[in-house]
């Protein structure tokens, strides 16, 4: 084992929950392997298009057919990380990191359609830990992401805190020893991440996003955008007499808003306040000539 050069040790996963683990279905046969690869392909496509729940469902199907495939475990962890299901993500990651290095930065970020989506998920995890500093599973997942991105000093600090929460976990102990000897910029994988994760701008205190807003996209029609205090949203788009509506949950991370809907998956947008009663909403990675949509408060 790469984490213990002195020999093998009894493996124990402190985050494992048998109820959440995929149940094997005739694993190991050539047919099972072929089916697993098909489910994995669907899972990757779904993840890239922000269908994180479908990606998790499909990777579970793949894992049931190939339960020992570490790549499926690591992808399962990523799909659950994207849904803020940190205990399931940690349970999937733990055996991966007990066996060897995980993905490098290029591999992991390549699974996302846009880097901004990953950055939002990372901010959500950091925000969760600020509110729940004793969540060992979430801290384990954050340590992994810092390591993969090559932020070794940040990873070391997380692992030091984690070792106090799970002092008997050999994987955490070995990761901490490894990261202490790893230069900044090198992750657990084979590559380096030279790009810094973008910093978000907090919304001003004078701007409160809860309310009903209307906007007029340049292609025509009108959007009614409703944000409630219990983090629910409604997006109602009307052109002439035709109306299309989406509903779901939203999460604010500084000036980013993550909209989660069963039909559209997850969508990351950026809020640019213009006083207390207006803002411009833009998509990530938009062209310079794309101004976004201006919304004004109705109530």
* 93-103 confidence digits (pLDDT tens): 999 999 988 99
Over 70: is that where the pLDDT of 91 sits?
yes
The answer, yes or no, to whether residue 263 has pLDDT greater than 70, is no
What is the C-alpha separation between 57 and 76, in angstroms, rounded?
9
CB neighbours of residue 253 within 10 Å: 18
Phi, psi torsion values for 90, nearest 5 degrees:
-65, -40
pLDDT band (50, 70, 90) for residue 203 = confident
pLDDT band at 65 (very low <50, low <70, confident <90, very high): very high
CA gap 95, 76 in Å, rounded: 12
With CA atoms as reference, report the closest residue to 65 among 47, 39, 45, 46: 39
Mean pLDDT of 34-58: 93
160-191 pLDDT tens trace? 999 999 999 999 999 999 988 766 655 554 44
CA distance 152 to 189: 12
With tokens 């992991």, the residue in question is 108
Place of tokens 């392909």: 41
Rounded to a whole number, what is the distance in angstroms from the first to the last CA of the chain?
Answer: 60
Tell me how crowded residue 156 is: count the other CB atoms within 10 A of its CB. 20
Phi first, then psi, for residue 28 (nearest 5°) are 90, -15
pLDDT given at position 199: 52
Distances (CA, A) of 73 to 79, 166, 183, 211: 10, 21, 27, 41
The pLDDT value recorded for residue 5 is 36
Q: Give the domains, in start order, of the chain with CATH numbers.
A: 30-180 (1.25.40), 211-297 (2.40.128.50)
């Amino acid at each position: 084992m790469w984490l213990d050069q002195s020999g093998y040790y009894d493996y124990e996963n402190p985050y494992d929950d048998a109820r959440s683990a995929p149940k094997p279905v005739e694993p190991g046969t050539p047919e099972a392997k072929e089916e697993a690869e098909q489910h994995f392909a669907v899972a990757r496509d779904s993840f890239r298009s922000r269908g994180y729940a479908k990606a998790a469902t499909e990777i579970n199907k793949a894992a049931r057919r190939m339960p020992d495939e570490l790549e499926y475990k690591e992808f399962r962890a990523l799909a659950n990380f994207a849904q803020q299901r940190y205990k399931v993500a940690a349970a999937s990651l733990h055996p991966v990191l007990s066996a060897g290095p995980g993905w490098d930065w290029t591999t992991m970020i390549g699974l996302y359609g846009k880097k901004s989506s990953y950055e939002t998920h990372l901010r959500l995890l950091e925000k969760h830990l600020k509110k729940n500093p004793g969540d060992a599973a979430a801290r384990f997942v954050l340590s992994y992401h810092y390591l993969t991105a090559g932020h070794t000093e940040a990873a070391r600090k997380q692992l030091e805190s984690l070792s106090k929460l799970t002092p008997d976990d050999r994987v955490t102990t070995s990761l901490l020893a490894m990261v202490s000897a790893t230069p900044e910029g090198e992750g657990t994988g084979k590559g380096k991440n030279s790009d810094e994760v973008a910093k978000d701008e907090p919304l001003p205190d004078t701007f409160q996003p809860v309310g009903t807003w209307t906007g007029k996209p340049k292609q025509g029609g009108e959007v009614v955008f409703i944000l409630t205090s219990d983090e629910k949203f409604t997006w109602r788009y009307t052109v002439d007499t035709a109306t299309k509506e989406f509903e779901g949950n939203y999460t604010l991370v500084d000036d980013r808003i993550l909209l989660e809907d069963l039909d559209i998956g997850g969508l990351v947008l950026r809020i640019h306040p213009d006083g207390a009663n207006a803002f411009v909403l833009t998509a990530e990675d938009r062209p310079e000539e794309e101004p976004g949509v201006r919304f004004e408060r109705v109530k």
